[in-house]
Amino acid sequence: MATPQASSPASAIKTGLAAGIPTDQVVPILDFGSQYVQLIARRVREAGVFSLLLPASTSYEELAALKPKGIILSGGPASVYEKGAPTCDKRLFDLGVPILGICYGMQIGSQLLGAQVRSAPAREYGRASLNIVDSKGLLAGVPEHTTVWMSHGDQVQDLPPDFKPLAATPTCPIAAVRHVSRPFYGVQFHPEVTHTPHGIDILSNFLFKICGCASSWRMSDFLETQVKSLRAQIGNSRVVCGLSGGVDSSVVAAVLAKAIGPQLACIFVDNGLLRKNERTLVDSTFRDHFKIDLRVVDASKEFLGDLAGIDDPQEKRKRIGKRFIDVFKQASADIPDAKFLAQGTLYPDVIESGHALCGGLSATAANIKLHHNVGGLPAELGFELVEPLRSLFKDEVRKLGEVLGLPDAMVWRHPFPGPGLAVRVLGPVSKERLDILRDADEILLEEIVANNLYRSTAQVFAVLLPVKAVGVMGDGRTYDNVIAVRAVESQDFMTADWARLPYDVLATISNRIINEVRVVNRVVYDISSKPPATIEWE
């Protein structure tokens, strides 16, 4: 299959709009490299308005093609007066639509419209006290004195007469502005973060009072549009979907089942590295409930054979990835008229890989997150890609799963690594060690669910350590396995904090694992945050 050529930004926008993005109201966010840029997009979507992340260099013509209701300029780590600092097309201010600049976005917008930006006498990082001097429009309904989250070392200074200051902090005299004759607004602080208590009110004022948006972005509407788009793209061909049982692949399969029904064939590879009863859950959900052509391939012996004696985590991944591709290729060869391969690509994947709908993000965007996947399927399989979730964030995928009627246990399932339990059995992998981990992990999740903690945690799992510990059971000494319990809270999985699970719940988990999994005599709790640790152990 020929390698696809990179599309132009304009054609990429057109493709994106045809793939489930509403055309009646879009609010593009130009990314200047902010660590919070995805959070801005999510906040806008949560308000019921569709947002789209684009490079700061997106041209006037490309933005005009979107017919935006408004535009947001994100923050960024650079200084606008430095040589080579990212900027935007100055003509976007001639579009006549409201523009909101956040932090760096306020500075670059103000500079392009004639204001001066200089290094601040006192830098502001963290919480600051904001005093509002104009409570109309952007800051309507916000208390006169409120708290905001600052992260800057530069300030807008020397405002020309056609700017009006809206708010100040003790060390930042111009913390919010508006242009008198153009619909440009700027805030030096970050309204998108939870540390700015009235930040959502400010964003809502911009979206609804200033831009005139309607809160109409709904998953049911997205599903209807996406189904039509998929039918047009696929025609009468068949689609192959690699089903893992995770949230993303499950929602992809459910969307395609609704769109093309019997044209979909799902392949579920049992690699012997699954959680307890996972194969049964997938089988009953998709074969029985959705009536999907589900093909289960039991290749557990082959996978475990490849992993025998291997303790290096990267080598584990390579071997699992190679075997998966071989098994999947063989299974898909038996599906006649298969032209497309369905993939659970999400919007953060698109952003972080540098291939946004507008042809790629700017080089200023930070690539923080590395995925724990096995690897993509090779081009020589000869399929065209179908990516129904490409414009959605993870929380939106879960909402879509609920609209499609997937069971809660699947929709709200915590992330599971592509290599499965192979990277949670530290050291060599064997069926015996996998069974120990499976039993311990099942007990852990039972107690997390029973104590109503599953939805309040982002990821909870057990790890089998490559060491043994001395213990005492009854009148004798034991020398048995150690299980580590990992539970984290996270919004985006780029950072995470260890979950403060109640002591009595931890005690029950420990007692049950030690009593019910006979070859375990010690349970430890991981209290490391990310960074410096990662969420997974391998």
Q: 369-393: buried (b, 16+ CB within 10 Å) or exposed (e) per residue?
A: eeebebeebeeeeebeebbbbbbbb
Please, what's the largest Cα pairwise distance for the chain?
Answer: 86
Catalytic site residue from 103, 172, 213, 241 = 103
Helical (H) or strand (E) element with 348: helix 347-352
Report in angstroms the alpha-carbon separations of 180 from 113, 205, 353.
11, 17, 39
Q: Which of 179, 190, 198, 372 is catalytic?
A: 190
Strands 184-187 and 99-102: parallel
Contact present, 303 and 323 (Cβ < 8 Å)? yes
The 3-state secondary structure of 74-111 reads: CCCCCCCCCCCCCCCCHHHHHCCCCEEEECHHHHHHHH
Annotated active-site residue 103? The verdict is yes
Residue in 192, 352, 396, 538 annotated catalytic: 192
Tell me the three-class secondary structure of 365-423, residue by residue. CCCCCCCCCCCCCCHHHCCEEECCCCCCCHHHHHHHHHHHCCCHHHHCCCCCCCCHHHH
Token pair 């700015």 is found at 196
* Residue 20 to residue 25: CA distance in whole angstroms: 13
Q: Is 192 a catalytic residue?
A: yes
190 is catalytic: yes
- Degrees (nearest 5) of the Cα angle 442, 444, 447? 105
Query: In 3-state terms, the chain is what percent helix, strand and coil (to 5)?
Result: 35, 25, 40
Is the distance from CB of 288 to CB of 260 less than 8 angstroms?
Answer: no
How far does Cα 387 stand from its chain's mean position? 15
> Do 260 and 291 form a contact (C-beta atoms < 8 A)?
no
List all residues 6 or more positions away from 320 whose beta carbon is below 8 Å from its beta carbon.
271, 273, 303, 306, 307, 374, 418, 419, 420, 422
Tally the residues of the chain. Answer: 538
Count the neighbouring beta carbons within 10 Å of the beta carbon of residue 440.
Answer: 28
Rounded-to-integer distance, Cα 99 and Cα 113, Å: 12
Q: Which residues are catalytic?
A: 103, 190, 192
